[in-house]
Structure 1
Amino acid sequence: MKHLTETLLWLSRDNVDSLPSNEFALDALVAQLATEMQYLLKDKPVEVVLDTESCQIRLPEMVVRIVLGNLIRNAFQYTWEGRVSVRQHGAVVEIVNPLQEDAGTEGLGFGLGLKLTEQLCDKLHWEYVNTSQHNERSATISFHTAEQ
Structure 2
Amino acid sequence: MNHANSIGDRLREERKRTALSQRVFAESGGVTEKTQVLYEKGERVPDAHYLARIAAIGVDVLYILTGRLNASTLSRDEGDLVGRYREAPDAVRAAALAGLTAGAAPAKYQQNFEGANIGQQVSGNVTAPFTIDMGNTRKKRRGEQKD
TM-score, structure 2 as length reference: 0.20
Is the radius of gyration larger for structure 1 or structure 2? 2
Return the structure number with greater strand share: 1
Return the structure number with greater helix share: 2
**Greater RCO structure (CA 8 Å; 6+ sep):** 1
